[in-house]
Structure 1
Amino acid sequence: AAALQRLREVFDIEELPPDVLPRKKPPQFMVDLFNKVADANGITRAPGLLQGDVVRSFEDRVHVDHHHFYFDISAMEKGEQMLKAEFRVFKLKRTHRSRRSDVQHFCKVEVYELLKHENKPQKKHLIASRLLSLYAEGWEVFNVTQTVSKWVRNSSSNHGFWITTTRVSSNGMEHDVVTFAKSQGALQESRNALLVLFTNSNKRRSHSFVPSATSSSSASMSRRPRAASSPLTACHRRELYVDFHAIGWSGWIIHPSGYNAFYCRGSCIFPLGEGLNATNHATVQSIVYTLKLSQEVSMPCCVPDELKSLNLLYFDDKQNVVLKNYKDMVATRCGCH
């Protein structure tokens, strides 16, 4: 129990989320983002692909009104610094075409912040506007960083967004000429509106999870069986697979299903070859140890000297999908230090 509690601290999980997989589907945008920044094992492909170290997605909570979009962002943590906020809505294709004499194929889309709840007419503040083709369909993305920053500071000011669509035709001004997808069962779930926040957790996760050679093996962290070898095998990297299914976390972690943390094992006895990535200090220490110049000096240690970050895509305890980057989680190289 203490070990699993420690593991939760490493992964920054305060409350264990409920098991929602495979029943609940994550937004495709978040799955695509994970695949862009990480390989199948969750290892970061290249530094700088992600803005910040946390991406939170919130789904629209209003299913009736086609103008109103509301997102509960209370899962944001204290001290989390918001870098960017995107309001993502899927524009549906207009089904009936106008008369040919009507050459106006564009409509004006305006996104407002609602200033008060359930006011008619609505008190609202214009955030963004653009022209869109009437007959195209697809995702529209609006930068709403300033507005959402205000909501983060003061949650009671969050009344959601309001969208209007208008166009000028021969009959004058037409309203509600196009609609944006709302969640209506499984068919439209993948097109449900999203609020995506890119943030910095500002937490010093000093406790990385790369087990040492002395860690005990368990069902959730399996090592490959090793051949009988002499105790003087040189320092090298060995496999250590962390299986989220065995830990009991597979009901809410979307990707990856587990990952290879690797660990370092072996001796650092003189002479230290080039492949042992030894520091000058470790080389001197190994010589002093070999020559027995001091009874107190031990052999240098075989430890990770190069680490990569891990990315986790998961449902949080409020069933929002989160992509989080954890530094120094995978040993990519071992050395004598």
Structure 2
Amino acid sequence: MIQRSLEIMYCMDSNIALWETAGDTKKGVKDPRLRHKGHDVLHFTFSDTVTKFHVSNATLYIFIKGAERRPLPDVVIEVFKVKKITDHPDPPGFNRVFAKKMTQPLGRGDWVKVDFTETVSEWFKNPRENHGFVVNATANGKKVVVTDNNVDKGRKIPFVEISTVEPKRRLRRNLGLNCDDTMNEPLCCRYPLMVDFEEIGFDFIIAPKRYDAHMCAGECPFVTLQKYAHTHLIMMSSPNSAQPCCAPRKMSAISMLYFDEQLNVVYGSLPGMVVDRCGCS
């Protein structure tokens, strides 16, 4: 089956809920490291037009502060999904979805990738269960993860990249072919084409750093023209016209996080960046 993909990038919501704990008897807090004065509950909001898709991949990016000198300490990184928020004063329950131990980076710090596919998939299927998540990262007992929107003008707050595909009931609408380099397909087809913004000098783009733009390639013999009525009629009416070529028939946008000329962080959608379907025209 042919599936249309969509890549989305979400920044963390600016309204962060701070939950206070008053002891070690609070229900639902499974890890003792979360039992300190307070922790931030972070949240991504997904629109109804997006949650109708299926999640094929989701990557959470969190920024870990760097160490000033060696020896570099170990960092314990944990991500917890908020299970439930109630009206009573008790803090919400948590379910750990990721844990990793790494060496703290030297210098300014670095981004860490977290596979967030399963969690985001659950939120897409059941939006009411999206109560947010908590990130906990410590080195020598000190918090080293950035969750404050006021730090470095919000450039280091968590964000998530999501790749989606259309639900199966809509797959029949896509009549184009999808191929890869291992296939010996001579006809017009859509192939993967990864674009790396850093390699081409687009350093002002924060995320995504790379994405699959796709490309069209292949032949357009007469036998395939019946799929494209307009092209077929042009060929019959004007035999001396230019031969049809394999080209994009449908394009879509990608979401980006980037710096503008004043070094402000901007979130926007750039149209015509992804080839969704190829055809002969």
| C-alpha distance in structure 2 between counterparts of 1:298 and 1:160, whole Å | 60
| C-alpha distance in structure 1 between counterparts of 2:4 and 2:221, whole Å | 33
In the TM superposition, 1:180-199 aligns within 5 A as 180-184=146-150, 187-199=152-164
| C-alpha distance in structure 2 between counterparts of 1:120 and 1:281, whole Å | 65
- Determine which structure has the larger strand proportion and give its number: 2
Shift of 1:195: 1.7
The match for 1:313 is 254
Q: 1:325 aligns with which of 253, 274, 277?
A: 274
Q: Is 1:105 matched up with 2:73?
A: yes
Report the identity percentage.
17
The answer to whether the 8 Å contact 1:92/1:181 transfers is no
The match for 1:74 is 47
Unpaired runs of 5+ residues, structure 2, are 19-38, 177-218, 226-235, 257-265
| C-alpha distance in structure 2 between counterparts of 1:326 and 1:120, whole Å | 49
Q: What secondary structure is seen at the aligned counterpart in 1 of 2:145?
A: coil
The answer to whether the 8 Å contact 2:6/2:165 transfers is yes
User: Any idea what the Cα deviations from partners look like across 1:255-295, whole Å, max 9, x if unmatched?
Assistant: xxxxxxxxxxxxxxxxxxxxx9764899xxxxxxxxxxxxx
Higher relative contact order (CA 8 A, sep 6+): 1
Shift of 1:330: 8.5
Shift of 1:162: 0.7
| C-alpha distance in structure 1 between counterparts of 2:244 and 2:73, whole Å | 61
Shift of 1:313: 3.2
In the TM superposition, 1:24-173 aligns within 5 A as 53-62=5-14, 64=16, 65=18, 67-77=40-50, 79-94=52-67, 105-117=73-85, 120-136=90-106, 137-166=109-138
Shift of 1:93: 2.5
Shift of 1:182: 3.0
Shift of 1:302: 5.3
Q: What secondary structure is seen at the aligned counterpart in 2 of 1:182?
A: coil
- Normalising by structure 2, we get a TM-score of 0.52
The answer to whether the 8 Å contact 2:246/2:278 transfers is no
The answer to whether the 8 Å contact 2:147/2:157 transfers is yes
Q: What secondary structure is seen at the aligned counterpart in 2 of 1:148?
A: helix
The 1:60/1:78 distance shift into structure 2, 3 A limit, reads: closer
Greater Cα radius of gyration, structure 1 or 2: 1
Shift of 1:191: 2.1
Shift of 1:200: 1.1
The answer to whether the 8 Å contact 2:52/2:124 transfers is no
The answer to whether the 8 Å contact 1:57/1:322 transfers is no
How many residues in Structure 1 have an aligned counterpart in Structure 2?
Answer: 186
Q: CA RMSD in A?
A: 4.0
